[in-house]
Amino acid sequence: MKLLFDLIPVIVFFLAYFVAGKSPESATAMASQMLDTLGLGTDLPPSQAPILLATALAIVATIGQVAWLLARGRKVDKMLWISLAIIVVMGGATLIFRDPNFIKWKPTVLYWAFAAALLGARFFFGRNLIKAATQGQLDLPEPIWDRLNLSWAAFFAFMGVLNLYVAFNYAEETWVQFKLVGGMGLMIVFAIAQGAYVSRHVRDPEDKADKLEDKA
């Protein structure tokens, strides 16, 4: 459920883009009205309507996620706060300047922010964020935790580069499809690979208890 919840803005962006693309006249009218309401003018080429509408709705969806969690008295993850800040800044710039390049950079900025957070927390504050995220549910040797932390940081760095490659070497529609299907597919494959790796190193609680008894 959490994965689906985290994906809501991406799914909203994907659906809004393709629905708008199938009704260009309606999409252009809606986008023009939206920009006029925001005081950003109404002169809008039809080709820009889908990406602008999708961006606006993704911003609203992310704000809605945070508002829903706060309204229910639940904790908002730091990563979600980071995602909110980036989508508001990059998405806002997309709407203000009507330049899709800003929103195309957004996934890369987010991926690199995650990578920087993982590396910064580990090397500057001595904290392993991957280990902290499991909340003690896994018992692994410290070297394995370090490898997991570094591998996720490397993966996010790679995804940031890959997003830019697709965004600026392929058609906009291809990038939108990659943003949901390709990006999430690679994330799932990587997570499964990490799970298989972790399963070989999880320490059995009974073995740990036996070792403590032997020492006693």
Confidence of residue 20 (pLDDT cuts 50, 70, 90): very high
Query: How far is the CA of 109 from the CAs of 82, 114, 143, in angstroms?
Result: 10, 9, 28
14 and 53 in a single domain? The answer is: yes
pTM of the model: 0.88
Domain limits at 54? 1-98
**Same domain, residue pair 74 and 122:** no
**74, 110: one domain:** no
| CA-based nearest residue to 145, from 120, 124, 125, 127 | 127
* Residue 212 domain-assigned (yes or no): no
**Pair (32, 106) in one structural domain:** no
| 34-73 tens-digit pLDDT | 888 888 877 788 889 999 999 999 999 999 999 999 999 9
- Over residues 139-146, the mean pLDDT reads 89
| Domain stop point among 98, 117, 145 | 98
CB contact set of 50 (below 8 Å; sequence gap of 6+): 16, 17, 18, 20, 21, 24, 27
Q: Supply the mean pLDDT for the chain.
A: 89
Q: Are residues 105 and 149 in the same domain?
A: yes
Phi (first) and psi of residue 76, to 5 degrees? -95, 120
Q: Which of 153-157, 159-163, 194-198 has the lowest mean pLDDT?
A: 194-198
